[in-house]
Amino acid sequence: MPDVAVAAPNEAAAAAGERVALLGGNAVDAALAAALVTMVNEVGIVSLSSGGFVTVQPADGSAPVTVDGWMDMPGRDGGLGTGTWDVTTAYGGGVDIT
């Protein structure tokens, strides 16, 4: 098993990341597993409309690479905002996610 540390906002997400690592996944695999579970059980905090950056160290020892995971607007070829819609959830007293 690779050396992987998993930080997540809840036990289920951390367990998913740990499980993927135990099955032979790398740190990126574990992080994605934890993020996907978090999208299900922390709806008001993490969603598919989130974006971010991750820096990874390739296993071959080459220079670290930063991946720009920032989102791109859906429907970009249409008018401004035409590819998005609001989703409302009762999470945290009511949250609108665009």
pLDDT at 10: 92
Domain coordinates of the chain in residue numbers?
11-97
**Residue 41 CB: number of other CB atoms within 10 A?**
13
Q: What is the pTM of this model?
A: 0.61
| pLDDT, block means (10 residues), the chain with 98 residues | 80 96 91 90 70 83 86 61 72 74
